[in-house]
């Protein structure tokens, strides 16, 4: 996995220039270059690889996914959203470049990513590129990430249109699971996988995304700034609707354990060391 992360990091650096006007490119590159776990590009590439696709075909889309993810982190940290001063162990984007540039850097990453897919995916067919862009625009927009963020903000203000359980699932299916789904769906498209495989990986990523959000909620409670690279304990202080606040720590852990087991069950037949490593790391950190 470390090897794959190195390849992704090198490509991200190559794809992201710093040119005039430098302030915006530097702001885009800043958060992108900080050491994230690179889970989404890794999962995209690994899905494609398991289905027989070579890495060069999928790398531009995998890097674009990381750009979209970083965009969401930059905007999420803004004072008008989650108001976080740290991200990936360093001051967040707006703390370094100012709010206006952080908003623009996010916007620029959001549009740079599909541009990259179109310009660099030389080995994909036009049909594959259109399918990937369709997935990207659907999942990044008001049917995906933005929907999750809006309902998250509404719920913090006490506005609940659905039950707390339904609201929580809606937020995290859209804010978190959506990018893991996008990752594996793009992987399957690059590998020309059939509908059955597409749905199977989608199901895996949906369950993984929910498990990952429960992991994130639990870590906010039990971890440290040094380990996470961002503020901890904020959810409880702000009275945020999370798996821990709604179900309690013990039931959140049970829910997490069930989802991780379901992920193992779906992916086992593909015999992937990388997916096993990801699941094991999350599981060991929460369940010991
Ligand atoms: C798409 C225009 C547009 C806006 C985005 C701000 C926003 C709307 C959505 C917020 C999405 C968000 C930040 C969800 C949290 C998901 C999550 C648990 C992120 C942490 O992921 P890690 O741990 O982070 O993989 P690293 O830094 O390791 O990559």
The answer, yes or no, to whether residue 159 has pLDDT greater than 90, is no
Give the atom of ligand 1 at the shortest distance from the alpha carbon of 68.
Answer: 1
Distance in Å, CA 72 to ligand 1 centroid: 5
Q: How confident is the model at residue 24 (pLDDT cuts 50, 70, 90)?
A: very high
> Best mutation site among 66, 71, 75 for ligand 1, i.e. most ligand atoms within 8 A of its Cβ?
75
Pocket test for ligand 1, best of 145, 153, 243 (most atoms within 8 A of CB): 145
Give pLDDT, residue 36: 94
Please, which pLDDT band fits residue 288 given cuts at 50, 70 and 90? confident
CATH class for the region spanning 2-287: mainly alpha
Q: For the residues 220-235, what does the mean pLDDT come to?
A: 87
Measured in Å, residue 257 CA sits from the centre of ligand 1 at 22
> What is the average pLDDT across 117-136?
97
Residue to mutate (ligand 1; options 72, 75, 174; most atoms within 8 A of CB): 72
pLDDT at residue number 228: 87
Instruction: Give residue-wise pLDDT tens across range 174-192.
Output: 999 999 999 999 999 999 9
- Which pLDDT does position 161 carry in this prediction? 86
Cα 76 to middle of ligand 1, angstroms: 7
Name every protein residue with a CB atom under 6 angstroms from any ligand 1 atom.
36-37, 39, 72-73, 75-76, 81, 88, 110, 140, 145-146, 149, 175-176, 213, 216
pLDDT at 12 over 80: yes
The DSSP result for the chain, as a single string, is -HHHHHHHHHHHHHHS---SSHHHHHHHHHHHHS----HHHHHHHHHHHHTT--HHHHHHHHHHHHHHHHHHHHHHHSTTTT--SEETTEE-HHHHH-HHHHHHHHHHHHHHHHHHHHHH-TTS-HHHHHHHHHHHHHHHTTTTHHHHHHHHHHHHTT--SS-HHHHHHHHHIIIIIHHHHHHHHHHHHHTT--HHHHHHHHHHHHHHHHHHHHHHHHHHHH--HHHHSS--SHHHHTT---HHHHH-HHHHHHHHHHHHHHHHHHHGGG--HHHHHHHHHHHHHHH-
Check whether 157 has a pLDDT greater than 80.
Answer: no
Residue 75 Cα: closest atom of ligand 1? 6
Nearest ligand 1 atom to alpha carbon 73: 13
Average pLDDT over the chain reads 95
Q: pLDDT tens digit string along 251-260?
A: 999 999 999 9
**Mean pLDDT, rounded, for 144-159:** 90
């Amino acid at each position: 996995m470390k090897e794959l992360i190195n390849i992704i990091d090198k490509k991200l650096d190559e794809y992201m220039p710093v040119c005039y006007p430098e302030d915006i490119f530097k702001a885009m590159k800043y958060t992108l270059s900080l050491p994230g776990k690179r889970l989404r590009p890794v999962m995209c590439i690994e899905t494609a690889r398991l289905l027989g696709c070579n890495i060069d075909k999928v790398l531009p889309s995998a890097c674009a996914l990381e750009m979209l993810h970083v965009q969401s982190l930059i905007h999420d940290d803004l004072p008008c959203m989650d108001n976080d001063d740290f991200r990936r162990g360093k001051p967040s984007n707006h703390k370094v470049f100012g709010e206006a540039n952080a908003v623009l850097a996010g916007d620029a990453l959001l549009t740079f990513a599909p541009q990259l897919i179109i310009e660099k995916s030389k080995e994909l067919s036009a049909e594959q590129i259109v399918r990937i862009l369709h997935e990207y625009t659907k999942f990044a927009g008001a049917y995906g990430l933005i929907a999750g963020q809006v309902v998250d903000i509404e719920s913090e203000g006490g506005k609940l249109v659905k039950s707390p359980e339904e609201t929580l699932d809606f937020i995290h299916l859209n804010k978190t699971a959506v990018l893991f789904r996008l990752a594996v769906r793009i992987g399957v498209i690059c590998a020309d996988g059939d509908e059955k495989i597409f749905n199977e990986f989608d199901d895996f990523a949906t369950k993984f995304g929910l498990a990952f959000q429960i992991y994130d909620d639990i870590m906010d409670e039990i971890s440290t700034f040094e380990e996470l690279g961002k503020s901890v304990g904020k959810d409880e202080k702000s009275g945020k609707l999370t798996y821990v606040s709604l179900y309690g720590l013990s039931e959140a852990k049970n829910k997490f354990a069930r989802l991780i087991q379901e992920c193992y069950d779906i992916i086992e037949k593909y015999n992937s060391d990388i997916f096993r490593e990801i699941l094991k790391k999350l599981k060991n950190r929460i369940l010991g």
